[in-house]
Every structure is written in C-alpha cells, then in structure tokens.
Structure 1
C-alpha cells in the first residue's frame, strides 16, 4: 500500500508539474530579451499595470513589426478565428455546425474582394510596408512559440497570416454593419403581403404606383427563402461567438465649454461582447510619430486613437450600402436573368469548404450583373428566384488601409478630411478634436446614387431600372461638421443630414440617445472635464421608455387589478426612463414592451417573421409610433372575426407581462430588480460548449443601462431574463490639456490568453463604471521586454 500511495503521489505530482508547465508555456512573455528577425535596431516594450504595451522603436518599420509580435502573443487565437470567419473557413476547425456560416461568408465574396484589394495596393506605400512589417511580427511569434490552448483543443494547424486576411476582416466589419439582410426581407414582406398601411409605423415612403418602385413578383417559396436568409445572416455571427459592430456614442466639446479651455473628446463604440474584447490597446512611438491606439485583430493601424496633438473616435454611420435585388429568370433559360430589357447569363464558380471530421462540402457560387446571388446559401431550401446583392464594399476601390494609416497621423482638419475620404465601406462617423482647438465630424463612406424614387429599404426588382446605380456622391456631400457654433458635436447613430439635402437611406437608431447627450452638453452651467464626463458616459436614462408609455397609461390605469398592480402602473407613470440595477419599473417596462410587440405584430407575421422583425433596428423607432396610433391596422386581430383594438392589445400585454415576471422572478415585485434580470456574460468562441463555458467565459455580471441609453447595455427585445449582447466596447475620455493622462477601460482584459493575469482583470471595474489611466510617454513600467535584432 505504501508503494501504491507513493506511486500515486509521484504520478499526481508529475501531472501537476506537467499541467503547470503546459499553462506557463502558453503565457505571453512581457520581460527579458528576445531576438526578432528583420529588426533594424533594438525595440523596447514597456508594459503598464493593465498589460498594455508601450512600444518605442527607432523607425516605423521596426515599430509595426514589434506591434505584430506582441499583439500575436496576446491575441493569436482571436486573429485566427476572425480571419476564418471573414473568409468562410470556420467549419475546418469548429465542425459541420459552422458550414452554414462559412457558406454565407463565401457567398459574400469577401475573399475575392480582399484578393482584389491586395492587387490594387501600391507595394511601395508607407501603409503597405507597415502592414507587411506587422504581419511579419505576427508570423514570427507564431513560428517560434507553442500554439495557444484553443489551437490544441481544436486541432488548428498554424499557417502564416497575410494581407488578404487583414482585408478580409475589413470585409467582415463592413458586413456586420449591413442591416439589409434582416431588414429588407421583412419590410418587403410587410409591404407586399400586408399592405402600405402597415408600413406607417416604420415611417417609410411607399410608391405603390411608381414605375421605378414596382414590387418584384415573389411567390410563397420566395418569402420563406428570404426569411431563412434573414435568420441565417443573424445567426452566423452568433454561432461564431465573434463581436459584431452595432452602434456607438461619441462627442467632442470645444474649449469654450471645458474646464481646461482645451477640447475634450469622448467615445464608446458599441460592439457585441466577447472574450477577448475587440480592442487591443498599444502606445506606438518612433521618431516623428506617437499614438495611443486601439487595434482590431490583424490590423496595424488603430481604429481609435489619440496623442497630445489630436484624437478621434468612431460611431457606425449605419447608411444603407447594400441592396437585395430579386432577379427575373428567363423561363426557357434558367441560367439567364433580365437586366435592362435583355437576358444576361449568370456566372458560376465552385469552392470547397473543408469540414472537420467530414468530407469537404462543394459550394456553387452564382453572380448576376448586379452582384452575388446570396440566397443560394440556403441550398435545397432556396427558392427559384435568385436574390442578388449589390454592396458598396464590392463595388468601390476602398483604399481603407491608406485611409487609416493617414488617420493615425492626421493632426489637422485638412489631413483628417482627406484621410476620411478614403474610407468607402463600412460607413463610419469620425468624431475628432485637436490641441489647436478644433473639433469636427465627418461621415466617411461612398454613398451610392440610386434612381429617383427608389427606396432601398425594400427588395428591388432586378428587371427594372430601380436596381441600377448611377455612381457615387462626392465626399463633400457627406454629413459633416467643423467647429460648430454650438461648441459641441454629438454622434449617436441617428439619422444625419447632408449639407446638400440629399437623402441618405439607412437603418438608423432613434434620436433619444443623442438627444440625451446633447441636452447635457448644451447647458451653459457645466464646464466639462474627464471627471464629470464619466457620468455622461455612464448615464442610464433617455426619454424612450416614457415616450412609448405615455399614450398607453390611461389604459393601464383602467386595467390594473388590485393595489399591487395599480402601484406598479403609477411607478411606470412616474418612471423617468432610467435603468439602474435596482429599478423595478425598468423590468416591468421591458417585459411589457415585448408583450405589446407580440400582441400587436405576431398575428400578422407569424413566428419566423416576428422574430426577424424584432431583431432589426427599425423596430426601435416603430414601437413608439405604434403605441401612439390607436388606429394602426396592427391592432386588429388578423385571421379572426373579432376586431381588435389598441386597448385589447394593452390588456393582453399587461396581464402576460405580470404572469411571466411572477413565474420567472417571483411573486413579489420587489424581487424584479433590473440587475437580476439583465446580465452580461462575456462569451469566448469555445465557451458556447459546456463545460468549457466555465473555463473560458467571463461573468455573469448584473448589468445597468439598456438599449438606447448612453450606457448602452443592449439585449434583444424578448421575455425576461435578458442576456446583454452588446454595449460599450471601451470607454475613452481625453482632455487635450493633458492628453497623456486620459481615461480608458477594457470590458474584460488586454490579453486573450487563458490563465494570464490580464485575461479578465478589468471586467469588474468595467461593470462598476470605473476607468483606468491611458498613460503616454515613459510610463512606470510593470515589466520591460527588449526586442533585439539578430546578430
């Protein structure tokens, strides 16, 4: 027995030692000296207490090579999974479940466009040279270190990263902004199957007699196919567990309104939560260049950034740069479609999707002159009507690499304006400030010129002129502001205006969030600094809830039964529309909003179309209009002999809300606190499988805020509880009186390496609304890594 126990002890000790060695071999190296090939001179990397690298090099090429090296050791798996998503290669490592996602992304032709963009690059340009140095650093780390844990679990064989991978990720970013896949099918269905009166809540122009806006002829099988396409588009990003770009806040305040007398910049892009978080922070310093930046996977150029001279933030423009087009098929030649009065052939190609553990899947890709046929991704369930996709990302030169390289250096309004003009897709709002006292905003995108009368909110008829594009508007026509008399600029995804007055179709958010921010910034009593700006970023109030409830309160007072229900109604009547953790009214309102949506819309749409509609942005603006219109046809009971009313729907929604909350959260309304029903878990791609969720995911946390408040912790409209899906991907505050001591926070941590100190070390502070210093210059280093050239 003694021998057996001794052997067991030795075995356990060996396993523990092996496990410890295994974990340690995967961790980033943040101190000591490392030889890095192709360096021209030594580079120092000083790590601060959050694990953010502050890189100093003697030239730009070495600077970007070092950035690639340290970025890879913290985020290599994120780089791998992002390029595989964008290029339609996830099933090779995640299995057959991801074949539909790969099929969708192959159909978008992102891979082909990335290849074309690489061929267009000036190989002697500073941007291209910097990208190649960065990728060289990424590949140097990958070739010289053990694979990440995720690679071992999934059996991923490392392969070099390329410029096509970087530009493919830009395509994914553009796609994640494109709401048309979900929105155009459901709005077209409502128009053609229910009628124009049902469109009024969406505030859309409808041209029932217009020759240009004539509806394409779609059969029942087409509608089913389009619904499946909308759902596939939504599900694809969820299945991959990868951040999707959703919204954002940004504002700039002139020195006349700040305590310091210098401009102040604030920003918090709204992106789906994930582990690791989307942004990788790094300070880059070389002779003539310094920037504290926020980088996406495989991108050497910061998407957000600042230094002591200037800084910028982003919000999503949300312009409609993607059209779905129903093609008319030649009845005698099914490979031909009618374009401008002539039959033209579809082109066809084949690709193979590699599938883990199974045979490859052969994918046939077709294109019309309008663009790729996207409903082919549905395979045998696709209808016979080809649905083509026209997309600015595929139809413009889009020198986005050069654009962001220049944005990273644009310390004047003129330079920033010139750089912004090089971003064609995705559409972005660039909110900007500098130490000279300027503030500005440019909507960066190429806006297509559509024929007069065309409403791209609907699926277009490919056999008519409505699917044509007449070119692009000049950049000067894009929405913009420079040093406005108000002394501040706010960008929060609402409908912008062009200086020319031209229409800018898009899928914009309601104005409530921007109005709430502007209301505070417009006051003359406040001198803004990075301290009182924190309360503005963390605000949980807008007028959206009270505005929606106002026309319904008289009915709610009438139908409430008993003292408890009457008290809940009076609390709703007095509710200011805020979402702190302890709010009961926030919980009741959100459950009621879902039940009211279902009572009004579900009988017309059925399960699938209803689910599609409430996943779109247009539902947010539609619900307050619906609540305010007692004569809307949506209140009627479709398919029933009984005539419905708004009152009937409110009564049904109220009773269903209380029943669901009692069943889910308990009989006592005191237990219906918002923070208990509204929670955030940061999900890792591997964390969707039990028990790996306990290992890789971070959370759950009780979450304040909600959709369309400044602290935009958003969950899908639905029944309680509400898992938060997206929100502020970082919070930044920069006062140009001392830009070297700005504020920042990461939702989880700087590192994507499991068991690393910085894997989730900021997650609690982030949820508590705390900030960390984004220091610049020679910072107090927690550790220093020296990169040296080969002898």
Structure 2
C-alpha cells in the first residue's frame, strides 16, 4: 500500500510539474534579452503593471518590428482566428460545423480582393514598409517560440502571416459593419408581402433637420433563401467569438468649455466582447514618432491614439455601403442576367474549403456585372433568383493603410482631414482634437452615387438600372465639422447631415443616446474635466425606454386590478429609463419589450424573419413608433379571426412578461434586479466547450447599462436572462492640457494567453466603471515598470 501511494504521489507530482512547465512555456517573456533579425539597433520594451508595452526604438522600422513581436506574444491566437475567419478557413481547424461560415466569407470575395489589393501596392511607401516590418516581427515570434495552447488543442500548424491576411481582416471588419445583409431582405419582404402600411413603423425617411436639434417578384423559395442568408450572416458573426463592430460614442469639447482651457476628447467604441479583447494597447516611441495607441490584430497602425499634441477616437458612420440586387435571369440560359439592355454571362469559379477530418468541400462562386452572387453561400439550398452584392469595400480604391498611417501622425486639422479622406470603407466617424485648441469630426467613407429615387433599404432590381452607380461623391460632401461655434462635437451613431445637403442612406441608431449626451454637453454652466466626463461616459439613462412606455402604461393601468401588479406598473411609471444593477423596472421593461415585439411582429414575419428583425437597428427605431400608433396594422394577430387592438396585445405581452419572470426568478420581484439578469461573460473562441469555458471564459459579471444608453452594455432583444454581448471596447478620456495623464480601461486584460496574469486583470475594474492611467511620460513609464525586455540585433 505504501509503495502504491508513493508511486501515485510521484506520478501526480510529475503530472503537476509537467503541466506547470507546459503552461509556463506558453507565457509571454517580459524581461531579459532576445535577438531579432532585421533590427538596426537595440529596442527597449518596458511593461507596466497592466502588461502594456512601452516600446522605445531608434528608428521606426525597428519600432514596428518590435510591436509585431510583442503583440504576437500576447495575441497570436487572436491573429490566427481572425485571418481564418476573414479568409474562410475556419473549418480547416474547427471542423464541419464551420463550413457554412467559411462558405459565406468566401462568397463575400474578401480573400480575392485582399490578394489583388496587395498585388498592386507600392512597396516603397512608408506605410507599406512599416507593415512589412511589423509582420516580420510577428513571424519571427511565431518561428522562435512555442505554439499557443490553442494551437495545440486544435492542431493548428504554424504558417507565416502576410499583408493579404491584414487586408482580409480589414474586409471582415468592414463586413461586420454591413447591416444591409440583415436589413434589406427584411424590409423588402415587409414592403412586397405585407404592404406599404406595414413599413411606416420603420422610420425610413431622411430627417433633413438632423437628429439633435418596381422590384421583380420573388418566389417563396427566394424569400426563404434571403431569410436564411440573413440568419447565416448574423450567426457567422455571433459564433466566431471574435470582435464585431456595433456602434460607439465619441465627443470632443473645445477649450472654451473645459476646466483646463484645452480640448477634451472622449471615446468608447462599441464592439462585441471576447477574450482576448479587441484592442491591444502599446506606446510607441522613436526619435521622430510618439504615440500611445490601441491596435487591431495584424495592423501596425493605431485605430485609436493620442500623444502630447493630438488624439482621436472612432465611431461607426453606419452609412449603407452595400446593396443587394435581384438579378433577372435568361429563361433559356440561367447563367445569363439582363444588364444594360442585353443578356450578360455571369462568371464562375471554384474553390476548395479544407475541412478538419473530412474531404474538402467544393464551392462554386458566381459573379454578375453588379458583384458576387451572395446567395451562392447557401450552396444547393439557394433559390432560383441570383442575388448580387455591390459593396463599396470591393469597389473603392480605399488606401486605408495610408490613411491610418497618416492619422497616427496628424497633428493639424489639414492632416487629419487628408487622412480621413483615404479611409473609404468601412464608414467611420473620426473625432479628433489637438493641444493647439482645434476639434474636428469627419465621416470617413466613400459615398456611392445612386440613381435618383432609389432607396437602397430594399433589394434592388438588377435589370432596371436601379443598381447602377456612376461613381462616388467627393469627400467634401461627407458629414464633417471643424471647430463648431457650439464648442463641442458628438458622434453617437445617429443620422448625420451632409454639408452638401446629400441624403445619406444608412442604418443609423435611434437618436436618444446622442440626444442625452447633447443635453448634458449643451449646459454652458459646466466646465468639463476628466471627472465629469467619466460620469457622462458611464451614464445609464436615456429617453428611449420611457418613449416606448409612455403610450402603453395608461392602458395597462386601466386593465390591471391586482395590487402587486399595479405596484410593478407604478415602478415603471416613475422609472426614468436608467439601468443600475438594483433596478427592477429595467428588468420589467426589457421583458415587456421582447413580448411586445413577439406578439406584434412574429405572426406577420414568421420565426426566421422575426429573429432577423431583432438583430437589426430598424427594430430599435420601430418600437417607439409602434407603441405610439394605436392604429398600426402590426397589432392585429393574423392567426386569429378577430382584429386585435393595441390594448389587447399590450395586455397579453404584460401577462407573458410576468409569467416568464416568475417562472425563472420566483414571485418576489426583488429577485428580478437588473444585475441578476443582465451579466457579462467574456467568451473565448473555444469557451463554448466544457470544461474550456471554465478555463478560458471570464465572468459572468453583473452589468449595469443597456442598449441605447451611453454605457451601452447591450444584449440581444429576447426573453430574460440577457447575456451582454457588446459594449464599450475601451473607455478613453484625454485632456489635451495634460495628455500624459489620460485615462482608459480594457474590458478584460491586455494578454490573450490563458493563465497569464494579464489575461483578465481589468475585468472587475471595467464592469465597476473604473479607469486606469495610460502611462506616457518617461518618468511614469519608468516608475511603473514591471519588467523590461531588450530586443537586440541578431
């Protein structure tokens, strides 16, 4: 017995030691000296208490090579997964369940576009040389260090990262902005199958004063096809466990309105939560360059950044830069479509999708003169009508690398305006300020010229000229402002206005979030500083929810006699639309919102299109209008012979809401508090598998805020509970009077390496609404140094 126990103890000891050695071998090296090829001089990388590298080099090529190396230490698996998603290569490592996602991304033609884009680039430009140095740093890390744990679990072989990968990821990010995939099939179905009266609720008209002050018939199979395509599009983004852009807040306040007398910049891009987080923070220094930046995977240029002279943030423009086009086919030859008065042959090509554990899958891709046939993503299930995709990302010149290279150096209005003009797809709002006192905003994105009277919210007729685009509007017509007299600029995804008076189709968010920020910033008695800006950024209140409740509560109060239920209605009646953790009214409203939608829309749309509706921004716009219109046709339940009224549907929704909450959380409404039903889990791409969820996911954490409030911690509309899926991907506050003491936060941690101390060390602080310093000055970087890695020429 003693001998057996001794042997078992030794075996367990060896197992623990082996596991410890294995995990340790995967960890980033943040101290010591390493040799790299291609360096011209030693580079210092000092890590602070959050694991943020502060890179000091003697030239920019060494600086970018070092950035690639240290970012790969922390984020190599994220880089690998993003390039595979963008290029349609996930099934090769994740198996057959990812075939549909790969098929979709191949059909988008992102990989082909990226390859062609790279082939025509000038390799001698500073931006391109910086990219090549950065990629070389990544590849040197990959070649010299142990594979990430996830590579071992999935059997991923090492292969070099390339410029084609970088541009492909840019295509994925552009696609994640493209709400048209989900919205256009839905709205076209409503128009053609239900009628124009049903469209009124979606508020498709242009608002000329701003927000702050003959389609061919489609068959049943085609509608099923388009519904499946919309669902595939949404599911591909959800299942990837990778960043997806959803919205954002940003504002710049002129020195005349701040306590310091210098501009103040704030920004919090709203992106799907994941582990690791989307942004990689790093300070880059060279004799002719200095920037504290937030970087995307496989891109050497900061998308968000600041230094002592200037800073900027981003939000989504949300312009509609993608059209779906129903092609008319030749009855005698289904491979021909009618285009500009004649039958034109569609081109055809084949690709092989590698599948783990199975033979490759052959994918046939077609293209009409309008663009790729996007329903080829459905394979043999595709309907008879080819649906082409015209996408600005595939059509614009889009010198986006040059644009962000210049933005990283743009210390004047002229320089940033010039940089913004080069960012043509996807559409982004750039909000900028400098220490000289200037503030500016430019909606970056090439706006296509569409035929007069064409509404791209619907699927267009490819045979009629609706889909033709003779070119793009000049950048001067884009929405933009520089040093406005009001003394501040807000960007919060609401409909912007063009200085040229253009109507700019898009899928904009409701205005209430922007209006809430505007009301507070408009107060001339406030001198803004970092403290007051924190409160603004962490706000959990807008008028959105009260605007829905206002016309409905009188009907509910008239129909409800039960004292307990009347007490709950009383809470809703006095609720201001705020979402703290202890709110019961917030929970009641969110459940009622879903049940209202379920009973009003689902009988008319069916399961698939109703599910699509809940994922669109037009749903957010529809609910206040639906609630206010007692005569809307959506109130009638077409599954009954009687004609239902708003009052009947609202009462049924209320009853269903209470039943659902009681079934989950009991009869004591104090157990329905927002923080118990609204929680954030940062999910790793492999965290759906047990026990990897316990090892790799971070959370759940009770979350304040909600959809369409400044602290936009959002969940999908549905029945309780509500897992938070996107929100502020960072919160940044920069006073240009003292930019060396700016504030920020990472939602999880700087590192993407499991078991690293910086894997999730900011998650609790983030959800509590705390901020941490973004160390910038030499004295601060040195004082907070936790380790120093020296990279030296090999």
Instruction: Identify the residue that residue 394 of structure 2 maps to in structure 1.
Output: 394
Contact 1:205 1:455 in 2 (8 A): no
Q: Does 1:686 align with 2:668?
A: no
- Show CA shifts across 1:88-123 (max 9, x none): 000000110000000000000000110111122111
Distance 1:26 1:505 in 2: 48
Partner of 2:709: 709
Deviation at 1:777, TM superposition (A): 2.6
Q: Secondary structure in 2 aligned to 1:684?
A: coil
- Report the 3-state secondary structure (helix = DSSP H, G, I; strand = E; otherwise coil) of the residue aligned with 1:524: coil
Match for residue 789 of structure 1? 793
Query: Residue 531 of structure 1: SS of its match in structure 2?
Result: helix
Q: Which aligned pairs between 1:362-441 and structure 2 lie closer than 5 A?
A: 362-441=362-441
What secondary structure, in the 3-state scheme, does the structure 2 residue paired with 1:157 have?
coil
What secondary structure does 2:715 align onto? coil
3-state SS, counterpart of residue 465 of structure 1? coil
Matched, 1:527 2:531: no
Residues 157-215 of structure 1, C-alpha deviations (whole Å, 9 max, x = no match): 01000000000000000000000110000100000000000000112259xxxxxxx11
Distance 1:371 1:561 in 2: 59
Per-residue CA distance 1:514-534 (angstroms, 9 max, x = gap): 111111111122111111111
- What per-residue deviation string (whole Å, max 9, x for no partner) do you get for residues 315-354 of structure 1? 0000000000000110001110111221000100000000
**What corresponds to 1:604 in structure 2?**
604
* Aligned-partner Cα distance in 2 for 1:460–1:737: 51
Q: Which secondary structure does the structure 2 equivalent of 1:33 belong to?
A: strand
Q: Does residue 618 in structure 1 map to residue 618 in structure 2?
A: yes
SS at match of 1:281: strand
CA distance in 2, matches of 1:154, 1:233: 25
The worse-fitting range, judged by mean Cα deviation, of 662-671 and 709-718 is 662-671
Q: Does 1:221 align with 2:225?
A: no
Q: Aligned ranges for residues 749-768 of structure 1 at < 5 Å?
A: 749-768=749-768
Partner of 1:241: 241
Query: Structure 1 residue 152 and structure 2 residue 152: aligned?
Result: yes
Q: Which whole-Å CA distance do the structure 1 matches of 2:674 and 2:10 have between them? A: 51
More moved, 75-84 vs 604-613: 604-613
C-alpha separation between the residues in 2 aligned to 1:601 and 1:91? Answer: 35
RMSD, matched Cα: 0.9
**Aligned residues of 1:98 and 1:240 also touching (Cα < 8 A):** no
Which secondary structure does the structure 2 equivalent of 1:595 belong to?
A: helix
Q: Which residue of 1 aligns with 2:18?
A: 18
Distance 2:660 2:302 in 1: 46
Partner SS for 1:748: coil
2: distance between equivalents of 1:237 and 1:551? Answer: 36
Q: Residue 210 of structure 1 corresponds to which residue in structure 2?
A: none
Deviation at 1:2, TM superposition (A): 2.7
Instruction: Identify the residue that residue 70 of structure 1 maps to in structure 2.
Output: 70
Shift of 1:552: 1.0
Q: Could you tell me whether the CA contact under 8 Å between 1:216 and 1:459 is conserved in 2?
A: no
Cα-to-partner distance string for 1:627-668 (whole Å, 9 max, x where unaligned): 001111111122432011111111111111111111112111
Does the Cα contact within 8 Å between 1:77 and 1:150 map onto a contact in 2? yes
Partner of 2:210: none
Residue in 2 that maps onto 1:131? 131
Partners of 1:117 and 1:699 in 2: CA distance: 40
- Give the distance between the partners of 1:379 and 1:771, measured in 2 at CA: 48
Deviations 1:481-500 (A, max 9, x none): 10011100000000000001
Cα deviation, 1:243-271, whole Å, max 9, x if unaligned, reads 11000000000001111000000000000
Task: Provide the C-alpha distance between the structure 2 equivalents of 1:664 and 1:305, rounded to a whole number of angstroms.
Answer: 45
Contact 1:285 1:291 in 2 (8 A): yes
User: Partner residue of 1:312?
Assistant: 312
CA–CA distance in 1 between the matches of 2:535 and 2:129? 42
Residue 201 of structure 2 is aligned to residue 201 of structure 1:
yes
- Of stretches 234-243 and 743-752 in structure 1, the one that deviates more from structure 2 is 234-243
Q: Is the 8 A contact 1:330 1:336 kept in 2?
A: yes
Q: Is the CA contact (8 Å cut-off) linking 1:33 and 1:787 kept in structure 2?
A: yes
Distance 1:16 1:545 in 2: 53
Matched pairs, number:
783
Distance 1:604 1:484 in 2: 46
Structure 2 residue aligned with 1:647: 647
Match of 1:470 in 2: 470
Q: Does 1:737 align with 2:737?
A: yes
Find the aligned partners of 1:244 and 1:197 in 2 and give their Cα distance.
Answer: 33
Q: Is the 8 A contact 1:581 1:674 kept in 2?
A: yes
Determine whether 1:264 maps to 2:264: yes
CA distance in 2 between counterparts of 1:478 and 1:260 reads 32
The 5-angstrom pairing of residues 156-195 of structure 1 reads 156-195=156-195
**Can you list the C-alpha shifts for 1:674-725, whole angstroms capped at 9, x where unaligned?**
0101111000000011111111000000010000000001111110000111
- Number of the residue aligned with 1:113: 113
Return the offset for 1:568. 1.1
- Please show how residues 532-543 of structure 1 align to structure 2 within 5 Å: 532-543=532-543
* In structure 2, C-alpha distance between the alignment counterparts of 1:626 and 1:44, rounded to whole Å: 59
Match of 1:211 in 2: none
User: Would you say the 8 A contact 1:32–1:786 is kept in 2?
Assistant: yes
Deviation at 1:438, TM superposition (A): 0.3
Runs of 5+ unmatched residues, structure 1: 207-213
Cα shift readout 1:448-507 (whole Å, capped 9, x = no counterpart): 000000000000001111010121000000000100111000000000000011110000
CA distance in structure 2 between the aligned counterparts of 1:559 and 1:291, rounded to whole angstroms: 61
Q: Secondary structure at the match of 1:756?
A: coil
Alpha-carbon distance in 2 for matches of 1:739, 1:559: 57
Determine whether 1:87 maps to 2:87: yes
* Equivalent position SS for 2:524: coil
Separation (CA, whole Å) in 1 of partners of 2:117 and 2:488: 37
CA distance in 1, matches of 2:90, 2:257: 49
What corresponds to 1:488 in structure 2? 488
For residue 773 of structure 1, report the CA deviation from its aligned partner.
0.3
C-alpha displacement of 1:216: 2.1
Offset at residue 550 of structure 1 (A): 0.7
**Aligned mates of 2:640, 2:450 — CA distance in 1:** 41
User: Partners in 2 of 1:49 and 1:300 — Cα distance?
Assistant: 23
Asked whether the equivalents of residues 274 and 682 of structure 1 are also in contact (C-alpha less than 8 Å), the reply is yes
- Is the Cα contact below 8 Å between 1:440 and 1:481 reproduced in 2? yes
Partner SS, residue 733 of structure 2: strand
The alpha-carbon deviation at position 3 of structure 1 amounts to 2.5
Matches of 1:661 and 1:687, distance apart in 2? 28
Kindly indicate whether residue 449 of structure 2 is the aligned counterpart of residue 449 of structure 1. yes
Q: CA deviation at 1:5?
A: 2.2
Tell me the SS of whatever aligns to 2:612. helix
1:531-558 superposed Cα distances (whole Å, 9 cap, x missing partner): 1111111100000011111111110111
Contact 1:98 1:239 in 2 (8 A): no
CA distance, structure 2, for counterparts of residue 48 and residue 560 of structure 1: 59
Aligned to 2:209: none
Question: CA separation in 1, counterparts of 2:698 and 2:366?
Answer: 42
Match of 1:686, SS?
Answer: coil
Residue aligning to 2:695? 695
After the TM superposition, which of the residue ranges 515-524 and 759-768 deviates more from structure 2? 515-524
Task: Output the CA distance in 2 between the equivalents of 1:406 and 1:349.
Answer: 38
SS at match of 1:671: helix
Paired residue secondary structure (2:292) = strand
403-412 vs 596-605, which moves further:
596-605
Q: Secondary structure at the match of 2:41?
A: coil
Secondary structure (helix, strand or coil) at the match of 1:625 reads helix
**Offset of 1:217 from its aligned partner?**
1.5
